[in-house]
Amino acid sequence: MDLELRHLKIVTAVAEAGSITKAATLLGLAQPALTAQLKRIERTLGGALFERDRYGARPTPLGELVLSRARVVLPAVRELQEEAVRFANTYDGITSFRMGATNGPILGGLVARLTTNCPETPVSTYTSWSARELTNMLVTGRLDFALVGTCGESPPPAGDPVLWSTVGTVPVFVLLSEDHPLAGAEEVELAELADESWAVTPGDGCFGDCFAAACARAGFTPATMYETDLATCVHLAQLGRAAVLCQATFQLVPGIVMVPLAGAPLHWRQRIGWHADAPVARAAAMMIDHAMAAHADAVQRSPRCAEWLAANPQFHDIP
């Protein structure tokens, strides 16, 4: 007879219970059956494992040797089983998802989908205003996937061998104080805001240049431009101190309204990137699907954005 894990469990149970009778109860076996199994184990191992008398069962020196090994083997096997189950429930054996993102509406929805569909795969997040920084982190293996935005037809940051896929494209709208004279407009010409101060969240792409070019086409040069964090941008809009450029998926807060810019002179493309040679690349198709679904949800959460896209179907033809 070959020694099996169940035999080690029996020996351990007898030692911990201190008697065969108590061990049989704990194991759900009849005492004679347990005694017979213990004798077969002792024959396999070459000697008695317990000294048995009316006071119970105490390990012999051979028994102590077997127990010392069993107390290492059994926890190790249990840990192996638990790890195997966790591995089997991860996505294709991927042990974690490290997500990076610039300011945008997708990351939260993407994390929610990942934690629902891959509950055994931990997800961590990192946020930066710099798409180049996130791209470098993909290249160096510090991130698995990155969500970044690019202005208009601008390419994503270069970072061979990083691959990029477009998740969705939305127009750029403007946030105004609810007391602004144009707050109730269906849309506003960029030239109508020529006298405004402006605010935008920071980035290292070409959005500032594209905005300046759009203003030039509208016949003016923007005066003050505040580049600051989102909370400060919103506060400036609430106070009426600035018109804030934002993605059309922006979730409104009290004190401001979101108004489309006539003709959509600016648009914003959300992209997801990953290292082509990294093990997580095999999850790219799944990640793209989840990111696109999160983007679609963000559009629907913004009624103004959803209405505008429905009324401007040609916008979806932007490559």
Res 153: pLDDT: 77
Q: CATH fold of 97-317, please?
A: D-Maltodextrin-Binding Protein; domain 2 (3.40.190)
Q: CATH fold of 5-88, please?
A: Arc Repressor Mutant, subunit A (1.10.10)
Distance between CA 241 and CA 177 in Å, rounded? 8
User: Is-above-0.85 flag for pTM?
Assistant: no
Backbone angles phi, psi at 273, to 5 degrees: -125, 155
Res 146: pLDDT: 97
Q: Where in the chain are the domains?
A: 5-88, 97-317
Coil vs helix vs strand at 200? strand
Residue 294: pLDDT over 80: yes
Q: What confidence tens digit (pLDDT) does each residue in 95-108 have?
A: 889 999 998 889 99
Distance between CA 72 and CA 161 in Å, rounded? 45
Region 209-231: what's the mean pLDDT?
94
Distance between CA 200 and CA 141 in Å, rounded? 30
Res 152: pLDDT: 82
Q: What confidence tens digit (pLDDT) does each residue in 157-205 have?
A: 887 789 999 999 999 999 999 999 999 999 999 999 999 999 999 988 8
Structural contact between residues 302 and 248, judged by C-beta atoms closer than 8 angstroms: yes
pLDDT band at 233 (very low <50, low <70, confident <90, very high): very high
